[in-house]
């Protein structure tokens, strides 16, 4: 079998990962990789607009397995900033029910940011889209983390006062907080705020009360396995933990790696891009990165490739029960479907 090697490298720093890619003929050992758990396209290829409607109304939020998106509206700023490719309505139509909305307090309004990068959207854009979806699917609910992002500018009031303005503008859209763990029937057709900002009065489920894995800082691409270990541990925590506790598991990571790489393990963002090589081979390093795939086997030697958290999670989800809220970058149809299946 011929082997073709391609190396793509950049100078390493805090924000630019080294990319060491091998494009190799993939062996049968790699056939179990859930490539469809990741997508960089604008459509997911999967529609599930009503999955919550089929669940018993007495189920509590803590009992659900919910697909979500990390930094839901981060579409602009290049590969180091971009975390999503599916437009918000496409996310909702594809089954996503947990959103991560980062609001900059700007002249007494909320603009949507990822760090300092404005995402060409405002809070009205988010709320009007979610409202349209819930009006069409009143048996669903949307869990929305609201977090203050970047530096406030030109404000004359507190962040929570501006939030109250939006809540009043969209009368009836938000669930009125009265429990840290409501039932589905109590919140159908509503936004449930996961409150990640200070307020004079509680307006949502306190973010700090949730059991959260968000180990997002990678120094280099080679820290991906440590990130995956954190994800896998939290999957077990959610399955075997307190059913009255809400668990959140972020599959996302960045800083020393691109978000698309953490999600996919690929050499570039495209769905058809090859997996990157770790630079290790078997049998010499057969005990290294045991959950990463062995590919392009040739004369008894296999390359150990990176694999992203979306695929690694999707492949193992059938072995778990309740997994809580899974927040992902670039979620593909197989990951979305398998998270939803945990509810049944």
Each residue's pLDDT tens digit, 118-141:
999 999 999 999 999 999 999 999
CA angle 178, 144, 266 (to 5 degrees): 150
**Residue 13 within a domain:** no
Query: What pLDDT does residue 32 have?
Result: 87
pTM: 0.91
Q: How far apart are CA 188 and CA 64, in angstroms?
A: 14
* Domain count of the fold of the chain: 1
> DSSP of 218-238, one letter per residue?
ESSGGGHHHHHHHHHHHHHHH
In a domain, 288, yes or no: no
CA distances from 275 to 92, 262, 269 (A): 28, 11, 10
Specify if 336 maps to a domain.
yes
Residue 215 lies in a domain: yes
- Supply angle C-alpha 224, 226, 228, rounded to 5: 70
The tens-digit pLDDT sequence of the chain (344 residues) is: 232 222 233 333 333 333 433 433 333 344 589 999 999 999 999 999 999 999 999 999 999 999 999 999 999 999 999 999 999 999 999 999 999 999 999 999 999 999 999 999 999 999 999 999 999 999 999 999 999 999 999 999 999 999 999 999 999 999 999 999 999 999 999 999 999 999 999 999 999 999 999 999 999 999 999 999 999 999 999 999 999 999 999 999 999 999 999 999 999 999 999 999 999 999 999 999 999 999 999 999 999 999 999 999 999 999 999 999 999 999 999 999 999 999 99
| Predicted local distance difference test score (pLDDT) of residue 31 | 53
Q: Is residue 302 part of a domain?
A: no
**Beta strands of the chain (E only): which ranges?**
65-69, 98-106, 109-114, 117-122, 142-148, 191-196, 205-206, 211-213, 217-218, 247-250, 254-255, 277-282, 294-298, 301-305, 324-328
Residue 286 lies in a domain: no
Give dist(CA 73, CA 79) in Å, integer. Answer: 14
Give the Cα separation of 324 and 245 in Å (integer).
9
**Other beta carbons within 10 Å of 14:** 8
pLDDT of residue 200: 96
* Dist. CA 210–CA 245, nearest whole Å: 7
How does DSSP classify residue 248? E
Helix axes 123-136, 159-169, angle to 10 degrees: 40
- R_g of the chain computed on alpha carbons: 20
Domain with 311, as residue range(s), is 35-264+307-341
Is residue 144 in some structural domain?
A: yes
The CATH code of the domain that includes 168 is: 3.20.20.190
Q: Tens digit of pLDDT for each residue in 7-26?
A: 233 333 333 333 433 433 33
Q: Parallel, antiparallel, or unpaired: how do β-strands 117-122 and 109-114 relate?
A: antiparallel
Please report whether residue 28 resides in a domain: no
């Amino acid at each position: 079998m011929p082997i073709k090697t391609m190396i793509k490298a950049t100078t390493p720093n805090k924000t630019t990962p080294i990319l060491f890619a091998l494009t190799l003929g993939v062996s049968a050992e790699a056939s179990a990789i859930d490539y469809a758990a990741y997508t960089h396209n604008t459509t997911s290829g999967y529609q599930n607009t009503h999955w919550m409607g089929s669940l018993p109304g007495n189920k509590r939020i803590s009992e659900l397995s919910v697909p979500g998106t990390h930094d839901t509206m981060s579409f602009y700023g290049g590969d180091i900033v971009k975390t999503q490719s599916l437009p918000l309505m496409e996310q909702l139509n594809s089954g996503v029910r947990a959103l991560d909305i980062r609001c900059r307090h700007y002249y007494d309004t909320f603009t949507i940011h990822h760090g300092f990068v404005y995402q060409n959207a405002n809070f009205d854009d988010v709320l009007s889209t979610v409202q349209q979806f819930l009006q069409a699917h009143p048996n669903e609910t949307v869990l929305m983390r609201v977090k203050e992002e970047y530096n406030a500018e030109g404000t004359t009031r507190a962040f929570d006062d501006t939030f109250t303005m939006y809540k009043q503008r969209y009368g009836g859209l938000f669930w009125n907080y009265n429990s840290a763990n409501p039932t589905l029937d109590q919140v159908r057709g509503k936004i449930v705020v996961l409150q990640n900002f200070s307020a004079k009065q509680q307006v949502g489920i306190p973010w700090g009360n949730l059991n959260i894995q968000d180990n997002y800082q990678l120094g280099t691409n080679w820290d991906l396995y440590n990130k995956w270990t954190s994800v896998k541990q939290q999957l077990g925590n959610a399955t075997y933990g307190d059913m009255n506790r809400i668990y959140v598991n972020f599959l996302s990571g960045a800083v020393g790696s691109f978000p698309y790489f953490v999600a996919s393990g690929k050499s570039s963002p495209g769905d058809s891009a090859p997996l990157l090589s770790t630079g290790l081979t078997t049998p010499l390093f057969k005990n290294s990165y045991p959950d990463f795939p062995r590919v392009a086997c040739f004369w008894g030697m296999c390359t150990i490739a990176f694999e992203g958290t979306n695929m690694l999670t999707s492949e193992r989800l059938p072995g778990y029960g309740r997994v809580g809220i899974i927040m992902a970058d670039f979620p593909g149809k197989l990951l979305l479907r398998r998270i939803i299946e945990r509810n049944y």
